[in-house]
Amino acid sequence: MNIVSVENVVKIYHTGMKRGNITALNEVSLSIDQAEIFGLLGPNGAGKTTLMKVLLGITRATSGGVTVMGLSPADAGSREKVGYLPENHRFPNHLTGIGLLELAGRMCGMSNAEIKTRADELLPLVGMDKWAHTKIRKYSKGMAQRIGLAQALINDPDLVCLDEPTDGVDPVGKIEIREVLQRIKEQGKSVLLNSHLLSEVESVADRVAILSKGRVRRVDTVKHLTSRQLEYEFEAEIGDRFLDIPPEIGKQVAVTANGMRVELKSREGVTHIIDMLRQRRINIYAVTPVKMSLEQSFIELIKDQATPGGQQSGGGAS
Amino acid sequence: MKGLTRDTCNEMIDRKLFWVFVAVTVLTILIVLLSASTVKTLKAGEAPPEVAKGIGDLVDAYLINGLGKFLSILVFLAVMGTAGLIPSMLSRGRAEFYMSKPISRTGLLLNKLVGMWAVYGGLTVVAGLVCLGVMVLSYDLFKIGVLWMLVDSLVALAVWFSITGLIGVISGSYAFAVTAAFLVWIAQSLLPLREGLAQIVNSKVLTTTLDILYYVLPKPSQVSDLFAQLARSKEVADWMPLWSTLLFALVMYAASLWFFRRKDY
Ligand SMILES: Nc1ncnc2c1ncn2[C@@H]1O[C@H](COP(=O)(O)OP(=O)(O)O)[C@@H](O)[C@H]1O
Ligand SMILES: [Mg+2]
């Protein structure tokens, strides 16, 4: 069973006359498996937060099918084993850190003893044990974020939804949060992670959906998204020449600082290029397959969608 | 209560409203003690029986009216102090927290409303009992019926919360919630006087409208009068103000739930 399944979900916000209707989600479909860290990536306003809220029943989809733990979000039971760290949260600030955990725990139907045990585990985990008895209104952004993560985990959820979890957190805290996510995953639980920080998603997520303007542009593993097939960087003394590579082998895409970049039709092309370079007595120092960062891949995908037809990316001179 | 009642309690203490209640209660007790010493000197003057009975009636009325005034101040404070609770719970960044928990929307709002009523009603009743205790001890007279005044404040709180709750859910604004309660309060103070107006203005439409408004809107002041009658162990001639008010509150609560279940946050 999928932990989360989303099918053709549309969400239209009916705002005032001026801005008209906003289609925040447009025919979105995806699913999240057990023990998977699923990243939602997209520029601001892409609909990431909206999708998360739809899953939690905070906002209702205009149309389409959503199930969480096999139940509709309208059913409170679907949230029994779910934790949520909202974006831009303002937790009830009359509470202390531990008070927030107690309230969250009781709302999840936990007993005082259960809450106590769990809080004693979670507070050190998020590095907030020293601040547990301080009012939330005195917390910094990063501290509120850490306690927010703890409250999302209070009921030992099978699915944790985190909306921009490292927002306002210091670099050390970011690494700590990443470790927490890995631990959750090792326990066989799923994580839905929203972030505009691509490097962060890249380092933890198993699969990623790229959203832009309310549409899912691509759902894939991070590995696939970041490896560009059959592009190689040749570190060689080429200068700023363009090589006359036969079209059936491939083409030179660019001249780089240390050599050139080529796009090949097949892997055997590498040997061919090496032969060509050797014939011309050009020294070769290294050949590396080109890997894009998720960021590049993301930007290209978004750019593609922005330009109608969108196929001219990557290729320059030929 | 899924923790929301305790949350409301924490919130009250944090917002120092608790201390306002304490301050008003202490002030009232001081007034009672001060006036009691005056009445005692009157009594000590060996008054003839008929005068003594007059004084007794006076004290009786004083006990009921005084307690009633005190309680209505507390109710006023509680309504003003709580009108912002629901808008605050449903504000951006906080609603998400409450709604992500495994509680249905209906459960969430009902828990919060019941929590508010229990916490602030409880506080009002305790303050009322303390004040009543001081009154009873210093005047040396007690009527069990006086306890109806406490019931009255619980009913009044339920009615006012139904108004601030509904407007709070719909508008998400403290200012609107308080304004709505204030408008209803003005209307319910003026509408019983509508017959006087009908004699001056000769308009069938106007009088009918006012009549409808009168029967539809809640009548907390008249309900208080009704409970004061009960407190004096007198017959209540007309129960209409009570049941029409309760009906109004019920409709308001139902409407709050209806709107809440349909809103996006
Ligand atoms: N409550 C709302 N009312 C109207 N429009 C909204 C609301 N929430 C979000 N939107 C709009 O929906 C779109 C998607 O927003 P959001 O889901 O917050 O994006 P993201 O989290 O990816 O930055 C945006 O255009 C935003 O303006
Ligand atoms: Mg967002």
Query: pLDDT under 70 in chain B at which residues?
Result: 1-2, 39-56, 58-60
Q: How far is the CA of A170 from the CAs of A122, B161, B171, in angstroms? A: 19, 43, 37
- The answer to whether residues A205 and A50 touch, using CB atoms and an 8 Å cutoff, is no
- Tens digit of each residue's pLDDT (9 = 90 or more) over A187-197: 889 999 998 77
- Other beta carbons within 10 angstroms of residue A94's beta carbon come to 17
pLDDT reported for residue B218: 95
- Tens digit of each residue's pLDDT (9 = 90 or more) over A167-182: 888 888 888 888 888 8
pLDDT reported for residue A258: 85
Q: Which residues of A289-299 are buried (b: 16+ CB within 10 A; e: fewer)?
A: ebebebeebbe
- The answer to whether residues B7 and A92 touch, using CB atoms and an 8 Å cutoff, is yes
How many angstroms does the Cα of residue B229 sit away from the middle of ligand 1?
Answer: 56
Tokens representing B181 are: 């309660």
How many angstroms does the Cα of residue A250 sit away from the middle of ligand 2?
Answer: 42
Q: What percent of chain A has pLDDT above 70?
A: 91
Q: Which DSSP state fits A135? A: B
> Which residues of B fall below an 8 Å CB-CB distance to A?
2-4, 6-7, 10-11, 14-15, 89, 91-104, 107, 264-265
Tokens representing A169 are: 């957190």
Give the atom of ligand 1 at the shortest distance from the alpha carbon of A87: 21
pLDDT reported for residue A242: 82
Query: Which ipTM score applies to this complex?
Result: 0.85
Q: Which ligand is nearest to the CA of A45?
A: 1
Q: Cβ of B3 and A57 within 8 Å?
A: no
- Tens digit of each residue's pLDDT (9 = 90 or more) over A214-233: 999 889 888 777 766 678 88
pLDDT reported for residue A215: 92
Domain range list for chain B: 2-262
pLDDT reported for residue A317: 36
What is chain A's mean pLDDT, rounded?
A: 87
Q: What is the H or E stretch that residue A313 is in?
A: none
Please report how the helices B240-262 and B204-216 are oriented relative to each other, as an axis angle in degrees rounded to 10.
80
pLDDT reported for residue B41: 62
β-pair type (A259-264, A227-236): antiparallel
Q: Which residue of B has its CA nearest to A83?
A: B100
Surrounding residues of ion ligand 2, Cβ less than 5 A: A 48-49, 87
pLDDT reported for residue A312: 36
Assess whether the C-beta atom of A13 lies below 6 angstroms from ligand 1. yes
Q: Which ligand is nearest to the CA of A40?
A: 1
Looking at the complex, report in whole angstroms how far the Cα of residue A71 sits from the nearest Cα belonging to chain B: 12
Nearest to A86 among B4, B96, B104 (CB): B96
pLDDT category, A120, cuts 50, 70, 90? very high
Provide the strand spans (E) within chain A: 4-14, 21-32, 37-41, 63-68, 82-85, 159-163, 190-195, 207-212, 215-221, 227-236, 250-256, 259-264, 284-291
| Residue of B132, B18, B146 whose CA lies nearest to B77 | B18
Tell me which residue has tokens 């009549």: B211
Q: Is the pLDDT of residue A102 over 80?
A: yes
pLDDT category, A308, cuts 50, 70, 90? very low
Assess whether the C-beta atom of A15 lies below 6 angstroms from ligand 1. yes
In the predicted model, what is the mean pLDDT of residues A136-163? 94
Assess whether the C-beta atom of A125 lies below 6 angstroms from ligand 1. no
Q: What are phi and psi of A300, to 5 degrees?
A: -65, -40
Q: Is the pLDDT of residue A184 over 80?
A: yes
pLDDT category, A315, cuts 50, 70, 90? very low
| Residue of B24, B33, B56 whose CA lies nearest to B43 | B56
Question: A58 and chain B: CB distance < 8 Å anywhere?
Answer: yes
- Tens digit of each residue's pLDDT (9 = 90 or more) over A245-300: 888 888 888 888 888 988 888 888 899 899 988 998 889 999 988 776 666 777 77
pLDDT category, A21, cuts 50, 70, 90? confident
Chain B residues with CB under 8 Å of A89 CB are: 93-94, 96-97
| Residue of B88, B70, B79, B80 whose CA lies nearest to B27 | B70
Tokens representing B175 are: 């200012």
Q: How far is the CA of A288 from the CAs of A233, A257, A269, A270, A285, in angstroms? A: 5, 14, 13, 10, 10
Q: Which residues of A13-49 are buried (b: 16+ CB within 10 A; e: fewer)?
A: eeeeeeeeeebbbbebebbbeeebbbbbbbeeebbbb
Interface test with B, best of A15, A55, A90 (most B CBs within 10 A): A90
